[in-house]
Amino acid sequence: MAVLTMGALPLGFRFRPTDEELINHYLRLKINGRHSEVQVIPEIDICKWEPWDLPGLSVIKSNDPEWFFFCPRDRKYPNGHRSNRATDKGYWKATGKDRTIKSKKSLIGMKKTLVFYKGRAPKGERTNWIMHEYRPTTKELDGTAPGETAFVLFRLFHKVEEKNDAVKYDELEQTGYSSAMIKSSPDDTSSDLMQDTVSSVTHSQKPDNFMQNDQVTEISLPERQFEFV
Amino acid sequence: MAVLTMGALPLGFRFRPTDEELINHYLRLKINGRHSEVQVIPEIDICKWEPWDLPGLSVIKSNDPEWFFFCPRDRKYPNGHRSNRATDKGYWKATGKDRTIKSKKSLIGMKKTLVFYKGRAPKGERTNWIMHEYRPTTKELDGTAPGETAFVLFRLFHKVEEKNDAVKYDELEQTGYSSAMIKSSPDDTSSDLMQDTVSSVTHSQKPDNFMQNDQVTEISLPERQFEFV
């Protein structure tokens, strides 16, 4: 497995691609078979793993509870209207409205929020594992052209239990993501996720299985890594 | 001037330190004279420059409208209750409440939001230049111990005019900062700044003077830059 540790970068560097970058760069290259250019995000079959096993499969190793994966698009449901989202121990369930991703005002993709439940529907037990599924919507990235393979991209989050009921503003602020200055709109149906995930960032807790991979393969970056001009 | 370009890192890597990292790592080392370890953030006298000249002084060169600077703490107002914040062409004015920065529930610093106005108070014209000022509050970082120098840290933002009055949720979402899942609390007095700055991230506009420095000096990072294990 490929591993990219962040320790040698100055503290504070993080992999924080925008939604537009995930669609127009990462998914575009992956769908077009240019795998070696997007090795920083590994390819897995998301439903063959339990969520707590996924961080160990991440190429980028950091303390932030956030990880990225490509997943082949399920052929059983090519329209994206439904997907088989069951794992061995539970299932991923969509929550809230899908959101549009635009580039220069054009629709390029959709983002769906999923929550993992242990057990079987409708009696599953909600967990703190959350994913955003990114799906391109343009014809050119539907995976049907010669040389293309259909992929979606998952951004996985793990939230940590808060002792207090309320996450206060100051606590949100100290995560440092405040600079992005995001404000959720009143129609945001996943605002509870937002609050929860912030608290996990605050605690920077590692999942137990973090960095416990024994099969490690070296991969290489472009020669110039940091450029000082 | 030292320059660190991001081009050779995989797309999506950004300098996004948390508030806690800015106080406990960057300000701590700077105040203790360990300048070579925090070269990624340059030292300037913030009020000797107009805000639109500051991006050109940033060590980290990216398209994101966000930049970091150390500034010697003003000796005229050592208590931090007031500072001389006038530049040649205008002045920085505090807005909203100062916010606390905590580490493991202990107060370690304060964050103040400032907006730049052109002209002279009280008739200044509000601009799109915004700063967060980070100030340590612990005794050990007050800059009075032998070998210490008092510093604050500024995180500068430039927002871009929105054509539409409303920034819609989908537009916020595509900035990619959604993963941080920040929600502003009702008592956040600077929520208008939040909205504005998000729009600037969406547009990724460079200030005109960006990268127009002619005095460039090479600085070096630790030998291991990216570690592939």
Q: What is the DSSP string of A133-193?
A: EEEE-SGGGSS-STT---EEEEEEEE----SSSSPPHHHHHTTSGGGG-----TT-TTHHH
Contact A90, A119 (CB under 8 A): yes
- Residue in chain B closest to A223 (alpha carbons) equals B8
The reported pLDDT for the residue numbered B157 is 97
For B197, left (φ over 0), alpha (ψ -120 to 50), or beta? alpha
Q: Is A214 on the interface with B (CB under 8 A)?
A: no
For residue B149, count other CB atoms closer than 10 A to its CB: 15
The beta strands (E) that lie in chain B are given as 4-5, 13-15, 60-61, 66-72, 90-103, 106-118, 125-136, 151-158
Percent of chain B whose predicted confidence (pLDDT) is above 90: 57
Q: Would the ipTM clear 0.90, i.e. be above it?
A: no
Tens of pLDDT, residue by residue over A120-130, are: 989 999 999 99
- Residue in chain B closest to A67 (alpha carbons) equals B179
- What is the distance in angstroms between the Cα of A166 and the nearest Cα belonging to chain B? 11
Q: Which residues pair with B107 in a beta bridge?
A: B102
Contact B163, B133 (CB under 8 A): no
Tens of pLDDT, residue by residue over A47-97, are: 999 999 999 999 998 889 999 999 998 765 555 555 568 999 999 999 999
The reported pLDDT for the residue numbered A8 is 74
- Residue in chain B closest to A130 (alpha carbons) equals B179
The reported pLDDT for the residue numbered A102 is 96
The reported pLDDT for the residue numbered A93 is 95
The reported pLDDT for the residue numbered B29 is 98
Contact A43, A59 (CB under 8 A): no
- Single-letter code of the amino acid located at A77: Y
Question: What is the pLDDT confidence band of residue B24, given thresholds at 50, 70 and 90?
Answer: very high
- Asked if the Cβ–Cβ distance from A8 to B222 is below 8 Å, we say yes
CA atoms within 13 A on the CB side of A28: 12
d(CA A178, CA A175): 7
The reported pLDDT for the residue numbered B100 is 97
- Asked if the Cβ–Cβ distance from A177 to B182 is below 8 Å, we say yes
- Residue in chain A closest to B222 (alpha carbons) equals A8
Question: What is the pLDDT confidence band of residue B80, given thresholds at 50, 70 and 90?
Answer: low
- What is the distance in angstroms between the Cα of B79 and the nearest Cα belonging to chain A? 22
Q: Which residues pair with B71 in a beta bridge?
A: B152
CA atoms within 13 A on the CB side of B34: 8
d(CA A155, CA A69): 7
d(CA A109, CA A177): 24
Tens of pLDDT, residue by residue over B148-193, are: 999 999 999 999 865 544 333 333 333 333 333 333 333 333 333 4
Residue where the block lists tokens 């595509």: B174
CA dihedral A77, A82, A87, A88 (to 10 degrees): -80
d(CA A116, CA A128): 7
**In the A/B pair of chains, how many CB contacts fall below 8 A?**
253
For residue B6, count other CB atoms closer than 10 A to its CB: 19
CA dihedral B216, B220, B221, B226 (to 10 degrees): 90
- B173 backbone dihedrals φ, ψ, rounded to 5°: -60, -40
- What is the distance in angstroms between the Cα of B70 and the nearest Cα belonging to chain A? 16
Question: What is the pLDDT confidence band of residue B77, given thresholds at 50, 70 and 90?
Answer: low
d(CA B125, CA B118): 5
Ordered by where they begin, the domains of chain B are 14-203 (2.170.150.80)
Question: What is the pLDDT confidence band of residue A161, given thresholds at 50, 70 and 90?
Answer: low
Q: Name the more confident of B13 and A218.
A: B13
- What is the distance in angstroms between the Cα of B34 and the nearest Cα belonging to chain A? 14
A198 vs B contacts (CB less than 8 Å): 180-183
- What is the distance in angstroms between the Cα of A88 and the nearest Cα belonging to chain B? 27
Lowest mean pLDDT among A195-199, B25-29, B97-101, B123-127: A195-199
Residues 6+ apart with CB under 8 A from B69: B41, B42, B43, B44, B46, B54, B57, B58, B153, B154, B156
Q: Are strands B151-158 and B125-136 parallel, antiparallel or unpaired?
A: antiparallel
Nearest CA among A15, A159, A168 for reference residue B226: A15
Query: At residue A179, does pLDDT exceed 70?
Result: no
- Which positions 49-108 of B are in contact with A (Cβ < 8 Å)? 66, 99-103
d(CA B27, CA B6): 23
3-state helix, strand, coil in chain B (%, to 5): 20, 30, 50
- Asked if the Cβ–Cβ distance from B173 to A101 is below 8 Å, we say yes
d(CA B223, CA B229): 15
Q: Is B29 on the interface with A (CB under 8 A)?
A: no
Q: Is A40 on the interface with B (CB under 8 A)?
A: yes
